[in-house]
Structure formats: C-alpha cells, structure tokens
Chain A
C-alpha cells in the first residue's frame, strides 16, 4: 500500500520569508500524481499545486513551487514571500495513475506565519 509521510507536524515562518514543507512517499508504481492541499481555519480544502510523476520539471504556481525528487520519493513544497494568508494546515497527497482517483494523504503540517 502507498504511504505518505510528512515529518514536520508544525512549522513557522516570518512574513515575506521562504519556508519548505517536506513530504516523502512510498510506492512501487511509476505512474502517479502528487498534490499539495491547503486547509485554512475555515477547513475548506484547497488545491495548491500538483505534479505528474512522468514530468521531470518541477511544478510552480506563483509563490508556490515543488522540489520533486522521484528517485528519492520526495515531494517538498516551497512557499516564497510568505503571507499571513498562507497560515494553514498543508497536506501532501498521492494518487495512483489510471482511472481510480482516490487519494492517500499525509498527516499534515501546520504552518504558522509570524508578522
């Protein structure tokens, strides 16, 4: 079974600085997708960024980027120029390729942004 591990239960960052959240996963498959979801205090889950395993290029979305290391099975999220609105729980998630879209989530990292 696939597993997703987020080793940092909590992180903090100063406003305008950069922070990196870690995620590792375990799979024997070659076709899969990886996601970072954000859950603010409202508890609404919001997709931050996604990465297809077959793509070598790291995904970026404005201030959010990933460092995808397929051989190491690592998928870290970098948040640049952190803003107060970035404060949230962040979940890393894995999905096998194909037509079954169910996700396996890590336990989450609570990010605090200090003004």
Chain B
C-alpha cells in the first residue's frame, strides 16, 4: 500500500536533547512538508522540500533542522534550541503538479518533552 509513515507515534524526550522524527513516503511524491500542531493554533509550516537535496524554511523553522537526501525520506530534527517542542508533528507530501494538488498527510508523531 502506498502512503506516508511517521515514526514513532509517541516520543518522549528530556530537555536539552535533540530528537529526530521520521517521515517516509512511497508515493513517489516530489514535495514534502513538516507541520507543527498545537491546540488552538491550527497547523504551522516548519520546513518544506520540493526536490531532493533542497529545502526551505517555513513560518516557524527556529529550533528545527531537516535533510532531504532521498526522495522518500524527510526527517525532522527537533534541537535543544527549540524552546517549546511539545506538540503534534505532521508530515505531508504532494505529487507533481496538475490536478492532484492536495497534500497527503501521515498519521503524526506526538512529541512530549519531560
């Protein structure tokens, strides 16, 4: 089955530690995205990548880093510089242009900082 997988589903981290969230897709989509969701805030864009080896900052990139070494994978690292990392993180991807311009979402990762 084609789709987007995010792992782990729940993640706990101690303050001061970096943590990496995984996002993999087998849909052959070019573009991938990371969003953060907080209660009452909707989804806010952290980083996005439209092609391998290239990515751009979104609206709230501070304290986060990404890489895009393979088309299928777009991991997000939450660094110790992120002041309030506890949130729900969603990864998404989009196929090449044309009719299918919607974003497809993964199931999300809930990160809790202890």
Contact = CB atoms under 8 A, between A and B. Distances in A.
B85 interface: no
Interface string A9-48: 1000000000000000000000001010000001111010
Given A33-B101, A43-B108, A45-B105, A101 B42 contact: no
A91 B43 contact: yes
Interface string A89-107: 0010001000111111111
B94 interface: yes
Contacts of B50: 99-100
Interface string B79-112: 0000000001010101001000111010110000
B107 to A, nearest CB: 6
Most chain A Cβ neighbours within 10 Å, of B42, B44, B105, B107: B42
Contacts, number: 48
Given A44-B107, A45-B90, A102 B45 contact: yes
B33 interface: yes
B76 interface: no
A53 B92 CA distance: 23
B40 interface: yes
A43 to B, nearest CB: 5
Contact of B101 (A9, A45, A101, A106): A101
Given A43-B88, A107-B42, A102 B102 contact: no
A47 B102 contact: yes
A108 B101 contact: no
Interface of B: 31, 33, 35, 40-45, 48, 50, 58, 88, 90, 92, 94, 97, 101-103, 105, 107-108
